[in-house]
Structure 1
Amino acid sequence: MKSLVKKLANTNIGILLRNSLNFKPVSLKHFEKDYPISVSDAFLWRTDNGYKTKFKYSDILNLFYKLKNSWVEFHFYSKNNELIKIEKINDLNLSNELEISSKYLNNLEDYGTFYIYHFSENTKDLNNKDIISNRCYSGYSQNNNLYSFVHGNTLGKFTSIYSNKTFLTDIVKTSLFQNHTYTIQKYFDGFDKNELFFTNPTSKDIKFTIDNKDYELKSHYSLLVETITPIISIKSNCLFLRPTIFSYKGKYLDVHHS
């Protein structure tokens, strides 16, 4: 009987009820698939307000599994989850970088999210329990100043390493109610302004509140919120809604995860 209750409690419906009742809530749920998986964070790209983005990543399949002839795909989305472009890169080094400018995105000056997936058709050295997660570094430069780098912050989507073109989500879990509060461990006083970048890493709509102002994000939408509040608490129905932070002071910019 206990094993049955435990099994039901860990189903998607069971986790949703637990999170809604705040009873042993689950923020992140491990994916259970019978094939090796490539996981990507929901990374932020910016080309607005003089920004450009630089992304540094490794050839993980070669570095750790010695698999040759692997490749990566970048999937770029607008802030409203519209697919902008897919780029496949075959010739990988152990260390690589990609510069994302407005020119690279067809002269688009805005912000959104992108994902990186690692693929290989070599099955010899992989097993069905392998999970590849490239939680790489994204750098942000405004007006050609030095880049400020931050690593991945939000697990977004995953797919098979064998490139079956099925992309899944909902690693991050939600609640029926806005009953989860997250306070960022930083005192924001003294900055000219702060921007919080939110992305919805789930298939559900997310609602959240900051400074008594309500926001809503549809599935995989993203949003920049400007604030000057010294202490920031986020109340939401998402259990891992942790923004990337841009803090401005004079000519200086600091980017970090929360």
Structure 2
Amino acid sequence: MSQSVERALDLIELIADGHATLDELARLTDVHKSTVLRTLRVLEARGYTTRDAKHRYRIGPRLYLFAGRPGIEAMRSTASAALRDLGRRTGQTVHLAAYDDGVVTYVDKVEARSTLRMYSRIGLPAALHATAVAKVLLGALDEPELRRVLERCDFTPFTPKTLTTADALIDEIRRSSARGWAVDHEEHETFMNCIAAGIRSSDGRIIAAVSVSVPNVVLPYEQVLALLPDLHETTASISHELGFDGPAPFILPIPSPDQGVPS
């Protein structure tokens, strides 16, 4: 086994055991900090490790997929046909995302028909404060747990519309939960709008989120919102397949008098 691969595996095992800081990892591997940091940067870029706001390392979301996190593979299998049907009907990028211990991860993706493709990969984390899927999934947490998770969020301002405080994000999460869908209106990328809604398990808990993402040059924001009924039909169908038959909120936006479409 090459030295670099062995070093990367050693670091993953140490992080899984709870050793979280760069200093700890360098000491335990008996490797210079700069070398350890280079390896960690590669692991983080690929989703195998992640860091919190205090630069403590932890196992990344991609490893959860390899480990067969309970329910994820079964949910992907159940949702697959509906996600691909949504992609065919809208022609846009469709994502399936799940939440685990403060991390929202993309677990499936349907590419858009357009040559304009959204940069995202299965197994990579979604920004908690700037994505529609994260707003949906964080909405399933109670207030103390939500605030605990957001303490680790760095609130990087990706665009002028990014929410940059916990209070502002919590307000938006609660609004999204009440109406049954969330939006990323140019908050992560200035040229992209996304809508998302939750998938519910048999007990009514939101266990995943589906999103539709559209570049501005393909559809304006108002026409992206017009895709909400298709999104709702998809999430309701998947939820039904998972055994959920109860009521779930899904309140469409009020049509604009000027444009005759949701706004």
Same fold by TM-score greater than 0.5? no
With CA pairs under 8 Å and 6+ residues apart, which has the higher RCO, 1 or 2?
Answer: 1
Structure whose residues are more often strand by fraction: 1
Q: TM-score, length-normalised on structure 2?
A: 0.25
Q: TM-score, length-normalised on structure 1?
A: 0.26
Structure whose residues are more often helix by fraction: 2
